[in-house]
Amino acid sequence: MGERKTFELEQGWEYMQKGITKLKGILDGSLEQFNSEEYMMLYTTIYNMCTQKPPNDYSQQLYDKYREAFQVLPSIREKHNEFMLRELVKRWANHKIMVRWLSRFFHYLDRYFIARRSLPPLNEVGLTCFRDLVYQKVNSKAKDAVLDVIGKERDGEQIDRALLKNVLDIFVEIGMSQMDLYEDDFEAHMLQGTGAYYSAEECLKRERERVSHYLHSSSETKLVEKVQHELLVVHVNQLLEKEHSGVHSLLRDDKLDDLSRMFRLYHKVTRGLEPVSNVFKQHITAEGTALVQQAEDAASSQAANGGVQEQVLIRKIIELHDKYMTYVTDCFQNHTLFHKAMKEAFEIFCNKTVAGSSSAEQLATFCDTILRKGGSDKLNDEAIEETLEKVVKLLAYISDKDLFAEFYRKKLARRLLFDRSANDEHERSILSKLKQQCGGQFTSKMEGMVTDLQLAKEYQSSFDEYLGNNPSTRPGIDLQVSVLTTGYWPSYKSSDINLPAEMARGVEVFKEFYDNKNKHRKLTWIYSLGSCHINAKFDQKPIELIVTTYQACLLMLFNTSDKLSYPEIMTQSNLSNDDLPRLLHSLSCGKYKILSKEPNTKTVTQNDSFEFNHKFNDRMRRIKVPLPLVDERKKVVEDVYKDRRYAIDAAIVRIMKSRKVLGYQQLVMECVEQLSRMFKPDIKAIKKRIEDLISQEYLEREKENPNMFRYLA
């Protein structure tokens, strides 16, 4: 078999160029076609030139020359506008056909040489050639031509939409599955142009320019008013409710610049801001209600963490308030309509309950968390002050401010009495803020409590000095007493518990000291708030127990008795069935079983008996025996509602005293107005209080008109 003829590069490429020229002619409309023999010869030529032995293997040279086959730019450069677009679409279609044919002729190169060298395939090279030779040079002109055509359509002209679709497909296809070229080279410019086209500010600017160019200056006001009316009033709903550019979407996407622009435009239109502020209110209400629902759901699914969820809710509401207050000041220039919208929105969701807890209670609990030792995250003084400032602002939206005051007072009392307050300055600071917001009457009792405790410390110092000067009077125990003013503090249950002799002696000594200093004052001892440190001697080691006064009284009964039944404990302590089971449960069934109980169950009944647990031991030498807190929510609410009756009575009498004669509707309206600063009075409650005051002869109905009331001096 003879040796195969060697093809030189120039000879082989000359033959390939004839085939490429014929292919271009066919694409330009020539009727001549390739026959199968010509096709095979072109393929074989490439095959032979790629399979010759070196140095006659021309694979790399043919790969480089493949690019030279594409020359399509001059015919596009010669045309403009839509004609250029049509030529571009035609050349792109021809180019893709040419890439397919050449890929067949050069198939052997693609399959072996390119695959082994990991080079870009011929199809990709063909598209890259069009991008480099054509697209890079004409895309700007093409983009301008497309935008021009879009502008014509916006102005009402008929256009060839299929042409635009084909042109824009080139922007996508040239990117080879990436949208970068389409987005950067066309879409960004199109959106910018769209914004300018539809921008009301731009329209007004253009009309003013028109006046300056060729209209009389007197036309400016009328022209601007007409444009504003057409753009902003006639289409107000479409503009404000558009899916991607309406107020809701601008608020959702935090588009502050666009919101500012919308405010500036509608500020110029009579009552134009009302629909904007309404949408603002709806948006805030929806966001706030969603936060409340999230907290409700979380509290329901994790009942044990309900309190935590409420605290998270308050923090989120504070963040929401900060965010939209920035909108009001920065975007809406502190306009009263938007302040009003924000106030009304917050009043809606700030008065909802979460897991049975009212917003007033949640806010009071949040304050307690911030102000008590170890209650909050480690915030610095400045952060605490800032948070307290924001809490007081939130209080403005809560209708039951009297309920907040009572819950806050209860928690403040626990902080002060049990030395749980983290910082006296913060306590005084929030009271100062509350006083500024709600008036002196709102905080007078709380301020009295803080002052009281300071005076109590001075009394304690005097008592210690008294004991030092009179050694014979010492009771044998360390005694600390806080003397408080009844009117300032929440009401607490006082019980005539039988104190152990040691404690009773201490009480007598203090009473004697106090009576010497205050002749006409009476002390009422609230043992339920006391705490004791007692030394318990167990078999293993002595342990100091920190307990409440009631717990201490029960434990000390076992100094003289080994075993006591429930009735015996009840008789000796003089405690009621309301308190005793809870106390005995804490000592015998809780974490620390100081007492042993028979039978050994987890509940306390009147048939149980108890004895001191000598075998008890703990790794600590001092332990605090917890006493579960009684849920005071119901009592606080009852106390507040009782106080409300007095407040309604006082308001009715005050109004009638100044008016003398007044109709029912007017009296109710004025009463609601006076009381709404502290709570939202129930109309039925007002009606009932009017009837009671009539029966007490503060008021009387007029005989001729039962709806008219007269004040009786």
Supply the CATH number for residue 372's domain: 1.20.1310.10
Whether 146 is covered by a domain: the verdict is yes
How much is the pLDDT for 60?
79
Do 27 and 92 belong together in one domain?
yes
* pLDDT tier at 198, thresholds 50, 70, 90: very low
Do 492 and 626 belong together in one domain?
no
The pLDDT of residue 345 is above 80: yes
Supply the CATH number for residue 535's domain: 3.30.230.130
Supply the CATH number for residue 476's domain: 4.10.1030
> What gap in Å lies between CA 515 and CA 517, rounded to an integer?
5
How much is the pLDDT for 232?
53
Would you call 379 helix, strand, or coil by DSSP?
coil
How much is the pLDDT for 97?
81
Q: How many domains does the chain have?
A: 5
* pLDDT tier at 667, thresholds 50, 70, 90: very high
- For the segment 62-106, what is each residue's pLDDT rounded down to a tens digit? 777 777 777 655 566 667 777 888 888 888 888 888 888 877 777
> What gap in Å lies between CA 260 and CA 587, rounded to an integer?
65
Closest of 357, 350, 353 to residue 307, by C-alpha: 357
Whether 212 is covered by a domain: the verdict is no
The pLDDT of residue 538 is above 60: yes
Mean pLDDT, rounded, of the chain:
82
Mean pLDDT computed over 49-53: 78
Do 349 and 404 belong together in one domain?
yes
Q: Whole-model pTM?
A: 0.66
Mean pLDDT computed over 517-539: 87
Query: Which pair of structure tokens corresponds to residue 566?
Result: 């429930």
Mean pLDDT computed over 221-228: 61
Highest-confidence segment of 48-62, 143-157, 468-482: 468-482
Q: Of 152, 179, 197, which residue is a domain's last?
A: 197
Q: Out of 243-257, 558-572, 653-667, pick the least confident.
A: 243-257
Do 512 and 539 belong together in one domain?
no
Q: What is the dihedral of CA 316, 318, 323, 327, to 10 degrees?
A: 140
Do 575 and 648 belong together in one domain?
no
Domain extent for 396: 284-452
CA atoms within 13 A on the CB side of 496: 1
Query: Which pair of structure tokens corresponds to residue 156?
Result: 């009402």
Supply the CATH number for residue 687's domain: 1.10.10.10
Q: Out of 81-90, 473-482, 694-703, pick the least confident.
A: 81-90
Do 582 and 700 belong together in one domain?
no
* pLDDT tier at 177, thresholds 50, 70, 90: low
Do 433 and 541 belong together in one domain?
no
Do 542 and 469 belong together in one domain?
no
CB 686 within 8 A of CB 652: yes
Whether 170 is covered by a domain: the verdict is yes
Per the listing, tokens 């009552």 go with: 271
Q: Of 402, 434, 452, which residue is a domain's last?
A: 452
> pLDDT higher for 113 or 623?
623
> pLDDT higher for 9 or 557?
557
Q: What percent of the chain has pLDDT over 70?
A: 86
Which positions ≥6 away from 71 have C-beta within 8 Å?
133
User: With the C-alpha atoms ordered 111, 113, 119, 125, is the resulting torsion angle positive or negative?
Assistant: negative
How much is the pLDDT for 612?
93
Whether 277 is covered by a domain: the verdict is no
- For the segment 97-156, what is each residue's pLDDT rounded down to a tens digit? 888 887 777 777 777 777 777 777 777 777 777 777 777 777 778 778 877 877 776 566
Q: Out of 21-25, 215-219, 604-608, pick the least confident.
A: 215-219
Closest of 578, 577, 583 to residue 627, by C-alpha: 583
**Per-residue b or e along 167-199, where b marks 16 or more CB atoms closer than 10 Å to that residue's CB:** bbebbebbbeeeeebbeebbeeeeeeeeeeeee
Whether 238 is covered by a domain: the verdict is no
Do 22 and 136 belong together in one domain?
yes
> What gap in Å lies between CA 446 and CA 413, rounded to an integer?
9
Do 358 and 504 belong together in one domain?
no
The pLDDT of residue 531 is above 80: yes
- For the segment 449-472, what is each residue's pLDDT rounded down to a tens digit? 999 888 888 888 998 888 888 888
Dihedral pair phi/psi, residue 351, rounded to 5°: -110, 20
Whether 229 is covered by a domain: the verdict is no
How much is the pLDDT for 197?
43
Do 547 and 662 belong together in one domain?
no
* pLDDT tier at 486, thresholds 50, 70, 90: confident
Q: Of 428, 452, 476, which residue is a domain's last?
A: 452
Do 160 and 292 belong together in one domain?
no
Q: How many CB atoms sit inside 10 A of residue 637's CB?
A: 17
Whether 266 is covered by a domain: the verdict is no
How much is the pLDDT for 300?
76
Whether 254 is covered by a domain: the verdict is no
